[in-house]
Amino acid sequence: MQGYVDCHCHISSKDFDKDLEEVVESSKQAGVLAILAVAEHAGEFEKIIELSQRFPGFIFPCLGVHPVQEVSPEQQRGASLQDLDAALPLIEKYKDQLVAIGEVGLDFTPRFVRGETDKDVQRKVLIRDLITLASINSQGKPHCLVSSNEFRLWCSFSGSACRRAAASGSSSRRQIHWLIAIVL
């Protein structure tokens, strides 16, 4: 069967709460064979697992800490080690159900990252993410914006779905994670 896999979908967003069934059905009608549900923070993890159980064989869970965390709809900040500490026990709990750890990576957009200290914290979070990937033998779902030159150095971890996109010289102004459809 030929079709598409949405390899990066934030389907746990409350934007989908009212019409989730319709979104899933229209995705299937459009030829989508599977959706990788990607997390941004630990608060979404349980919902993503529930969605994967509600739509088995169609929605697959990816849990991780996005490099940018929302404090409020108007305010965002770079990820911290505390964000990762909150996520790791749940990643460990669900590791056998995960298809990947994600969304993880670096995002040095100036409105989120104010200087080298913030960049260093994101690097430390990414290093711990990569250690987690290795320890549970998982895949990675990378995020990279305004840091792609540095991110290419990090993209050599095993199983990176977007490693080729990073290596091909994608613009540093584009988010590598928007590699949405893969023809099967």
Give the per-residue pLDDT at 143: 52
Residue 172 has pLDDT above 70, yes or no: no
> What are the φ and ψ backbone dihedral angles of 54, each rounded to 5 degrees?
-70, -35
Give the per-residue pLDDT at 166: 41
**Measured CA distances, 55 to 39, 64, 103, 171 (Å):** 17, 20, 20, 35
Instruction: Kindly report, residue by residue over 112-155, the tens digit of the pLDDT.
Output: 888 899 889 988 888 887 777 667 655 555 554 444 445 444 44
Instruction: Kindly report, residue by residue over 50-106, the tens digit of the pLDDT.
Output: 999 999 999 999 998 888 888 887 888 888 999 999 999 999 999 889 888 878 888
Give the per-residue pLDDT at 134: 66
Give the per-residue pLDDT at 106: 84
Residue 175 has pLDDT above 70, yes or no: no
Strand arrangement of the beta sheet that strand 181-183 belongs to:
140-145, 100-107, 59-63, 32-38, 4-9, 181-183
Give the per-residue pLDDT at 129: 76
Give the per-residue pLDDT at 30: 92
* Alpha helices for 57-115 (secondary structure H): 81-94
> What are the φ and ψ backbone dihedral angles of 77, each rounded to 5 degrees?
-145, 165
Q: Record the tokens describing residue 52, joined without a space.
A: 């994967």
Give the per-residue pLDDT at 23: 94
